[in-house]
Amino acid sequence: MAEVFETVEQLISEIESAKPDTPEALEQFRIRFLGSKNVIKPLFGEIRNVPNERKKEYGQLVNKAKELAEARYNSLKEALAAQSEAAAAKELDLTRPGDPFGLGSRHPISTTLNRIVTIFQRMGFSVAEGPDIEDDWHNFTAMNTPEDHPARDMQDTFYLRNSAELLLRTHTSPVQARVMTSQKPPIRIIAPGRVYRSETISARSHAQFHQVEGLYVDEGVSFADMKQTLMYFAQEMFGTPKIRLRPSYFPFTEPSAEMDVWIGMDNEKNYRLSKGTGWLEILGCGMVDPQVLENCGIDPERYSGFAFGMGIERQAMRLYDIPDIRLFFENDVRFLEQFKAVI
Ligand code: DAH
């Protein structure tokens, strides 16, 4: 009987003298005296073997052991925390140089795009947007390219799995349809964005790239207006107003043209880029086909318009002398870092 008193007394002195000086040792202490299988718990049960007249005394003793363990644990924990804080402060060297904070840079596609957008904004165009995942109607049908139209083959399309309706837009032209079905003329917008085509990836073509679409619809808009607008653009973007319009075909414009900008052949780079002609092709354009206006609920008897669509990558390649289109999408910091100075 006296033995259980002794056991508790021993535990109490063990608790009082314990000096765990590492977090691990402290954890051992916690497990031994406060954990779910601690050594004090079974001693409460021993009370049934203690004679009645000493039960009270015994109970108080075991309780004291338990409270002591808790108090001791808390103060030891505090002491340890203060200790490690002090140690960390000692190691703190305020004279050490800070970690370098890397400054980012804008992607060359973004800076090229911003330049283009700014030029058209100065002429009163505002920016419109459409979704990357388009439906067949906006991407093709509204743009006068119904099913079975041979022009659909011009653009190899990524369809969404299990859908004949949804696709990744093959050009930014569907934004024309989105704007014309939701706004009334006069309409003067540009629509920059990402487009997708199922194409073999090489130095000159990629399965994803960027375009800027333009659309101007009002009463009495003429081919001359288009030419003047695009000439101003060429002047601002490339420093030359010398452009060339070649007859072309697009289902959504009539007549249609492709525009080349004169970049000359006075150095090897321009010679290569223009394939020895001095002309760089940058966009397709034309007068909006009356059928397209009608598809979108605009009266072609009253209104006319012009539209154009241009690729960004080729212009960025020319602006920054970049030889391979794939560099734009690899996001290699060694490439991107070179554009820090470009705003
Ligand atoms: N959507 C055409 C393409 O991706 C480019 C284009 C040509 C857009 C003529 C136009 C346009 O708005 O009028 O090749």
| Residue 92 or residue 28, greater confidence | 28
pLDDT tens digits, residue range 152-197?
A: 766 688 888 877 789 999 999 999 999 999 999 999 999 999 999 9
Nearest Cα residue to atom 8 of ligand 1: 309
Q: Spell out the alpha helix ranges (H) of 92-162.
A: 108-122, 136
For the chain, the domain total comes to 2
Given a cut of 70, whether residue 343 has pLDDT beyond it is no
Lowest mean pLDDT among 48-52, 115-119, 221-225, 226-230: 48-52
Domain's final residue, options 91, 118, 136: 91
70 and 158 inside one domain: no
pLDDT tens digits, residue range 126-158?
A: 999 999 999 999 999 999 998 888 767 666 888
43 and 151 inside one domain: no
Residue 304: pLDDT band (50, 70, 90) is very high
User: Ligand 1 centre and the CA of 164: distance in Å?
Assistant: 23
d(CA 37, CA 327): 63
| pLDDT mean over 106-122 | 95
pLDDT more than 70, % of the chain: 98
285 CB near ligand 1 (under 6 Å): yes
Q: Do the domain assignments include residue 100?
A: no
311 CB near ligand 1 (under 6 Å): no
121 and 6 inside one domain: no
193 CB near ligand 1 (under 6 Å): no
Given a cut of 90, whether residue 321 has pLDDT beyond it is no
User: Ligand 1 centre and the CA of 330: distance in Å?
Assistant: 27
284 CB near ligand 1 (under 6 Å): yes
Q: Do the domain assignments include residue 99?
A: no
223 and 265 inside one domain: yes
Q: Spell out the alpha helix ranges (H) of the chain.
A: 2-17, 23-33, 41-45, 52-91, 108-122, 136, 174-180, 223-238, 268-273, 290-295, 313-320, 327-330, 333-336
144 CB near ligand 1 (under 6 Å): no
29 and 128 inside one domain: no
Q: Do the domain assignments include residue 35?
A: yes
The b-or-e profile of 68-79 (16+ CB within 10 A means b, else e) is bbeebbeebeee
253 and 114 inside one domain: yes
295 CB near ligand 1 (under 6 Å): no
Q: Do the domain assignments include residue 123?
A: yes
d(CA 223, CA 81): 79
CATH of the domain at 256: 3.30.930.10
189 and 328 inside one domain: yes
pLDDT more than 90, % of the chain: 65
Conformation bin of residue 331: beta by default, left when phi > 0, alpha when psi is -120 to 50: left
| Residue 326 belongs to domain spanning | 108-339
Q: Do the domain assignments include residue 11?
A: yes
168 and 80 inside one domain: no
Q: Are 233 and 243 in contact (CB under 8 A)?
A: no
Q: Do the domain assignments include residue 98?
A: no
119 and 162 inside one domain: yes
49 and 146 inside one domain: no
The pLDDT value recorded for residue 101 is: 80
Given a cut of 80, whether residue 341 has pLDDT beyond it is no
Given a cut of 80, whether residue 275 has pLDDT beyond it is yes
Residue 306: pLDDT band (50, 70, 90) is very high
28 and 132 inside one domain: no
Q: Do the domain assignments include residue 26?
A: yes
82 and 128 inside one domain: no
Pocket mutation for ligand 1, best pick of 250, 285, 289 (most atoms within 8 Å of C-beta): 250
- pTM for the whole structure: 0.71
Q: Do the domain assignments include residue 229?
A: yes
Rounded to 5°, the CA angle 123-174-157 comes to 135
Q: Does the bond joining 255 to the residue before it have cis omega, within 30 degrees of 0?
A: yes
